[in-house]
Structure 1
Amino acid sequence: LPRAPSALLDAAWAAGQRDLYLQRALPLARALVLAADSAAAPALAGADIKLLSRCACALDGAADNPAGEREARRFRELAAAGHDRHAQMALGLWCARMRADGTRTAVGAGSANFKKAIRWLTMAGEQGLAEAWYALSRIYIKPEFSQRNVLDAHRFLERAAEMGYRDAQLECGNAAWRARRGNETNDVRAVYWMQKAAAGGCAQAASALHKIAPHGLAGALAGTPALAVRAGHPLLAARLELAALFHLSRAEALLLDVRSADQGHCLVVDIRASYGRSKRRLVLVDTVQQRQALDRIGRVFDNVDCGPGGPEGNYRQRLYRLKTLGTVAVAAPRTGGAGGQRYDLAA
């Protein structure tokens, strides 16, 4: 394309002026099709491929007419052959007679050609289009697809999710949550994908997170981390800080194995082995400050046995230490020295 018309076309496209873009670009696109259909067709340049792909998109949004649909498909075929990933994606969906989420469309005569659709969608996915992998996962779970394969569908779904496609992240989270009956640790994976989707603005994922990992009530533990440090109990101080950060109950704070509980994006609070009345639950790590504090607290417990045989003792010993600390906090003098200077303990 000449340099000046190309700049004008780019400006019209960037401004969302699809009708103006078609008015200027359609004659050029038709000339490219005529040249491509000739006997000695030259290879299309990058700007020509982009123009064909954009013309096809603009024609899709124009008024319905059979001639426009056929022309758009021809533009898209040339652009897809020239490795335009968006044209490959659109052509794959047209061959499958569906949208990216797998819902059926009435576009195109005849039945779906899943073999061609998979070929084009795979090419688009390999060029970094996450939506193409998601569309492939929808094809592989269709009952009418002769090579239906749930494992392949899940593999493509996770690939799209890893590339940041929000709908795939939500579906991965839902799938992991449904599979927790077979393996209870699947809830950790469910929270991981739900957090990703919620960070991308998915309200459904944010609502699911509140149900999977609800925020606990603020604990009312006696004693403070600073007071525990002064009393010579650094491990207890770390546990008190952890309880304040993540709203842990007294038993959870005293018995939690911090290193095994930390999953990066959440805490697995499971003390059933030591405290039979408790239930396994997840606590989200929502902020950078929480993550940094958790890393610091985790280093306190490096090479420390958190079990009853460790330096903290069993639950009764830990509880006695905590109650003693609370008693000290209540009984500590609020004035000291001859000058009667006042010392307030941090609450």
Structure 2
Amino acid sequence: MRNRLLIAIMLIVMMFATTAFAQTSQTITLKSGFNFASFTTAISITPQQLLTLNSNIEDVYLYSAAAGSFLSVKDGTLTSLAAGKGYIVKNSSGTETSVTVSGTAISTIGSITLKSGFNLIGFSKVPTTAVTFSSLMASYSTIKGLYKWSPAAGAFLQVVRDASGTVTLLDGSDPTFKAGESYFFNVTADTTVNYDGTSIVVGASPVDPTAKAAEITGTINSAAGMAELGLNYQTSGEAFDVTLVDSDGNAVPSISLDAAETNPKVVNDGQSYSFKVKDFTKAYKVIAKAKVTANKMVSVFVGKVKADEKITNRDVTPISTAISMIYADPTKEASAFKADEELKKADANFQK
């Protein structure tokens, strides 16, 4: 019995060791000239050892955002290599070559620090759903530009914001992020990037750039009166500033909205509105404030939404304003709150 127990323990240890320290390799194709690469395996070799693997590798560079300068193997300033970092490998030959490195499999990289300005970021892995440069920039306004080196062209493919903040494909190309490559990020402030999950996330935002937005729609109808509460306006067709806010009253920022969505927006009384939101961690409310008439404001509580959900008929009226003031519950799903609201409207005693 004792021998069987020892054998079982040894087998478990061996299985664990095989899983925990599974070896994997990466072959990096090097075009003539500069190549922007990243390691997809946790390697243990030094930069100097990397040079010895292929005599055509002239040097390896790493950009230090903190110093605003490059480190290199040849000048002795680049002393270590790691996954999650971006490197520039120079192939001094006139032909394509390759180098193969081995290491242990990577499970997570963690959040990578970005300094204000330019940062060279290596992608050791990528989410299963492809993310383009333009879609990431549309979700995160802090990104001023993304740059992918093209060895064939000897230049960068650039996706940047123009003077008005519009994402522009300067070269007509919209690259996707790929494992084993590195890219320059130009950001407006210190932040982080993380690609361990199902999407690429910049900063602490819970927004998933690849998720389908939830859509909240309704009509501004200030004349749907509730005289008992002194809320009985006349339809005037006047303009309202319509704002999507969270349950704390904060206007929802562009980073949490679908691309090209605006908040607030101007909607005339009697017309419909629509908001597409991609942050599914908060409860929402729509507030409409008359642009001309003083103290004329109506609202409707929406609740929490889900990806690709359609929340319709969230009409902004005096009745919805009263219900929102009394019954708003930030823990409720939008569909559940809407059902509760309909029951209250159908209750003859509710308006008494």
User: Do the structures match in fold with TM over 0.5?
Assistant: no
**Larger Rg computed on CA atoms:** 1
TM-score normalised by the chain length of structure 2 = 0.29
- Which structure has the highest strand share of the two? 2
TM-score normalised by the chain length of structure 1 = 0.29
